[in-house]
Structure 1
Amino acid sequence: MEIELTVNNASGLHSRPAGKLVNTAVKFKSEIMLYNGDKTANAKRILSLLKLGASKGSRIKVVIEGEDEKEAMTEIKRLFYNNFGE
């Protein structure tokens, strides 16, 4: 399952939103990967997410595979659509 989402919060995917993303991702058994250009990140690892360099306006491809992928995608989309609570 895959979707492309835009980072809309002013400061991009910095430590606080990345932490929220990790806290959400680890609840699921599915593998959750994010892609920003040629960079790849495991959504369950904060350092991996920070290395994406996702600033405001970045288009992020989210790929989720596993038994609870639909539920995981719903929660990941909610984070992006709510600008990670910022």
Structure 2
Amino acid sequence: MDRPNRQPRALRPLRDPGRERRPGDRAPERALGRLNLHDGRVDEVVREVVVVNDQGLHARPSNAVVATAAGFDAQVFLEHDGRRADAASILSVMTLGATKGAKVRIVARGPEAAAAAAAVAALFADGFAELG
């Protein structure tokens, strides 16, 4: 059987028949995959808090942040001094290095963003139950 000299399928470039792709183009699904979409909206809530407990964000308070954030349908991040920590990771939260008096931004996205941000902010306000 004579077959035309063709590249194997795995080596052929992927093409979208509807348009020419350019370097740097991102598939819409990839860009949208980072957003929490529901009812056509993206909810984001930002709250600013101050670390009031003497030891800052050490292991126990970091664990409290992670456990609290996990109870909500939201992505929660903490920002301090130009760094961002994912509140789903205790190591990420601990390595922020937020000490007593540090200003921390809570950024929450998703259907329960407001409730998640409020719950995490309450931990900070309470000093993570470490105040005497």
| TM-score, structure 1 normalization | 0.95
The structure where strand makes up a greater share of residues is: 1
Query: Once the two structures are aligned, what percentage of the paired residues are identical?
Result: 35
Does residue 1:21 correspond to 2:58, yes or no? no
Deviation at 1:29, TM superposition (A): 1.7
CA RMSD of aligned residues (A): 0.7
Task: List alignment gaps of at least 5 residues for structure 2.
Answer: 1-44
Aligned residue identity for 1:75? A
Runs of 4+ that moved beyond 2 A: none
1:5-33 superposed Cα distances (whole Å, 9 cap, x missing partner): 10010000000000111110111121101
Paired residues of 2:106 and 2:121 also in contact (CA < 8 A) = no
Does residue 1:57 correspond to 2:101, yes or no? yes
Structure with max Cα Rg: 2
Report 1 or 2 for greater relative contact order, CA contacts < 8 Å, sequence distance ≥ 6. Answer: 1
What SS does the corresponding residue of 1:55 show, helix, strand or coil?
coil
| TM-score, structure 2 normalization | 0.63
Does residue 1:40 correspond to 2:84, yes or no? yes
Alpha-carbon distance in 2 for matches of 1:43, 1:29 = 13
Task: List alignment gaps of at least 5 residues for structure 1.
Answer: none
Deviation at 1:78, TM superposition (A): 1.0
Q: How many corresponding residue pairs?
A: 86
